[in-house]
Chain A
Amino acid sequence: GAGVSQSPSNKVTEKGKDVELRCDPISGHTALYWYRQSLGQGLEFLIYFQGNSAPDKSGLPSDRFSAERTGGSVSTLTIQRTQQEDSAVYLCASSPQFDLGYSETQYFGPGTRLLVL
C-alpha cells in the first residue's frame, strides 16, 4: 500500500526566503511527526501531532518554524526567513492510533532535502 509521501523531494532556496514542506501520512494514521537530520547526525525531533490534541511543539528550534495539520491528515512544515543552518533533510513519519503502554511503529517518508544558499 501507499506509504508516507513528502514533497518536494529536493528544495534549494536563498537565505531569507520562506519554504513550505508537505507530508502526506499513511491513510488512517492519527499520529504525525516531523524530524530533521543534518549531515552525519541523528534525527532531531521537531513536532508531533496526535489526533485532535494540541501538537507537541517542544522540538521546534525557533519561532521561524511552524507546522499545521489540516483535517487530521496532510501536514505542512513552514520555515520562515530561512538560514543556512536550516539545511538538512526533513523527515515526516506517521503511526497508527497509539496504544497506551506499547511502542509506536513509525513509518517514515523519503524526506525533503533542503539546501539554503
Chain B
Amino acid sequence: SQQGEEDPQALSIQEGENATMNCSYKTSINNLQWYRQNSGRGLVHLILIRSNEREKHSGRLRVTLDTSKKSSSLLITASRAADTASYFCATDPYYNNNDMRFGAGTRLTVKP
C-alpha cells in the first residue's frame, strides 16, 4: 500500500494565518501528490512533487519533500475561508492495489 499518513488530523486557524500539514509514507516513491477535498465533493489535485525535487511552489501553496525522512509538508500561506477542506497526500503507483485508499487526511478549518 502506498497510503500516506497526514498530521495533524485537524487544524483550525484564522484567516490570513499560514497552515502547515505533514505527510509520512513508508516506501520509495517516484512522486508525491497533495489533494484537497471539500465536503461532499471529489478529490482535487493540488500539486505534484517528484522524488528528485525538494521544494515546489504553486500560488499560495508550498510543498517540501524529504525522501531521507519519507515525509512531505504542505504549506498554505495567507489562508482564506475558502481553503477550508480536507487535505490528503498520496504516493505512486497506488492504482494497482484494490485496497488502496486515502487516509483520513488533515481537516483544515479557516475561520473568517
Q: Which residues of A contact B (CB under 8 A)?
A: 3-5, 33, 35, 37, 40-45, 47-48, 50, 56, 59, 89, 91, 98, 100-111
Contacts and interface: CB of A to CB of B under 8 A. Distances in A.
Interface residues of B, number: 30
B24 interface: no
22 contacts: A3-B98, A3-B99, A33-B43, A35-B43, A40-B31, A42-B33, A42-B46, A45-B43, A47-B42, A48-B42, A50-B40, A56-B42, A91-B95, A102-B107, A103-B37, A103-B88, A103-B104, A103-B107, A107-B99, A108-B97, A109-B98, A110-B96
A33 B42 contact: yes
Contacts of B82: none
B110 to A, nearest CB: 15
Contacts of A40: 31
A47 B105 CA distance: 21
Interface of B: 31, 33, 35, 37, 39-48, 86, 88, 90, 94-105, 107
A106 B39 contact: no
Nearest to B31: A40
A45 B42 contact: yes
A5 B99 CA distance: 11
A59 B100 CA distance: 22
B37 A110 contact: no
